[in-house]
Amino acid sequence: MAKQFFRSLTLLITLNLLVKPLWILGIDRQVQNIVGHAAYGVYFALLNLTLILNILLDLGITPFFNRSVASEPNSEQELFSSAFYGKLSLTLGYSLIVLIIAVVAGIRDFGMLASLILLQILTGFNMFFRGYLSATQHFTRDAIVSVTDKFMVILFAGALILLPDRTGGITVERFVWIQIWALVLSVSLGVYFLHPKLGSLRKFSWSTMDRKILIESLPYAFNIFLMGFMSRADGFLLERIHPDGQVQAGIYAMGFRLLDAVNMVGFLFAGFLLPYIARHWPDRKSIDPVLLLCRHFLVFTSVIAASFVFAAPKWTNNLLYHDVSPYNAGVIRVVMLCLPFLSLTQIYGTLLTAVKEIGTFIRISLFFSSLNFMLNIFLIPKYGALGCAKIALCTQATNAVVLMYYSSKRTGIDLHVQQLVLYTACGALMLFSVRTFLHFDLPLIPLTSVMVTLVTIAFLKMIRFHLKSLLLLFR
């Protein structure tokens, strides 16, 4: 099982590393460069609003269904039908609540908002079908569905960007509708992969929706809402309450996009880890090496990426965007420092969810999302995008540390705290190396090379034991 897990995970990561960075950094980034900070800032704010509330489309049904099918495979047909009709019945309520909040908040661009609501509905069903595929261990099919919509957006939006004279060019509205039609194709593909399992849907009616599923999934829904609120509310608040909100939201989106592009690997790991841990718990011998190797990979790569951007923020700003300024570079630098802590949250939040310690997770999320909201309300009017970035860094860092502590306390899984020192050393070394090469400090280059070699050896030695444990699972 572990062998299948890592083979499928490798495929998933490979496909997503080929497609999603091109989508985020090649398409989404270029859309902002073309339409400008203000127009993109409005899109970014409304997108964040629909994302924060999209838990109303699900109420935790998808993660509950994913974990339940993974741990109780014999009940998948009944669970799927109830969960599917449950999600379908929630779409109207979600749409109405988003529209009411938009009216109260003074939003007037209802055409854009309606398109983004439809986008979230399709995204919710896409994630639901993907959850079914991964819960039933069809990891390869899940990997294919995960990149289908982004691949189609790259093709069609890329054509509008590269051939503006022939296509009329890209606008925010066109960009949104391309995403919608790409998701229609992705959802259709998910249905095709699952159609042998969907025959029982014809035997169910609306009255068969199991209320028990909704009740049992509510804690998962509330926690997903809190996590989304902590990471997304700042973009919406920034556009609403800052005097130059549209531009500031666009600037914040510059850093958030880069963070989102790299953090997608963490979401992929979490999607695979949840059913794997749920199925093998409480077999710590099967879980510990998988969990730790995922942590090593995620945290090591995120520390390297964050340190690189921290060392060269102006270079990063100049590489990605047309609007270059020290302020923009500073926002990008601080936002990217959140990445290692988000990686830890993905790993240990997934662990708590999989072992049914959702109550602990909720209490932690509630505290830090409330703290994040209050700080943003007070500091956004004065400090703008940079204030949002600093608040995000503080809350995400402390949230990750607390999650790690309680994950170990509730499950008994060792945190291997001493290995966190090596992550820090890797980050410091990357920072030193980038600055050395950027300034071409020739005397320091040999020293830097030696230090990189030593840290690499130390890292490989650190994971040797866990690789041996994993190889035993492969047999």
Assigned token pair, 390: 């600093």
Cis amide linkage into residue 443, ω under 30° from 0: no
**For residue 51, what are the domain limits?**
2-474
Q: Can you tell me the distance from the alpha carbon of 459 to that of 306, in angstroms, rounded to the nearest whole number?
A: 18
- The alpha carbons of the chain give a radius of gyration, in whole angstroms, of 22
Sign of CA dihedral 319, 321, 325, 331: negative
Residue 29 and residue 315: Cα distance in Å, rounded?
Answer: 16
Quote the pLDDT of residue 207: 44
pLDDT at 337: 92
Local confidence band at 121 (pLDDT 50, 70, 90 cut-offs): very high
* 432's tokens: 């030193």
Decide if 236 contacts 107 (C-beta within 8 A): no
Dihedral of the CA atoms 352, 358, 359, 362 (nearest 10)? 90
What whole-number distance in Å separates Cα of residue 9 and Cα of residue 322?
A: 36
pLDDT score recorded for residue 393: 94
* Number of domains forming the structure of the chain: 1
The tens digit of pLDDT for each residue in 304-353 reads 888 888 888 888 888 888 878 889 899 999 999 999 999 999 899 988 88
Burial 180-195 (b: 16+ CB within 10 A, else e): bebbbebbebbeebbe
Confidence check: pLDDT of 166 > 60: yes
Q: How far is CA 24 from CA 16, 125, 253, 257, in A?
A: 11, 21, 11, 7
Q: Is residue 219 reached through a cis peptide bond, with omega within 30 degrees of 0 on the bond before it?
A: no
**pLDDT digit string, tens, across residues 136-155:** 767 678 778 888 888 899 99
- pLDDT for the residue 202: 45
CA distances from 162 to 92, 99, 156, 261, 317 (A): 38, 35, 10, 22, 22
pLDDT in tens, 6-29: 666 677 677 777 777 788 878 888
H helical segments located in 136-244:
139-162, 164-167, 172-194, 211-241
Name the strand (E) or helix (H) holding 163.
none
For residue range 24-83, what is the model confidence (pLDDT) as tens digits? Answer: 878 888 888 888 888 888 898 899 889 888 888 877 677 667 666 666 666 666 677 777
**Which amino acid does the sequence have at 13?**
I
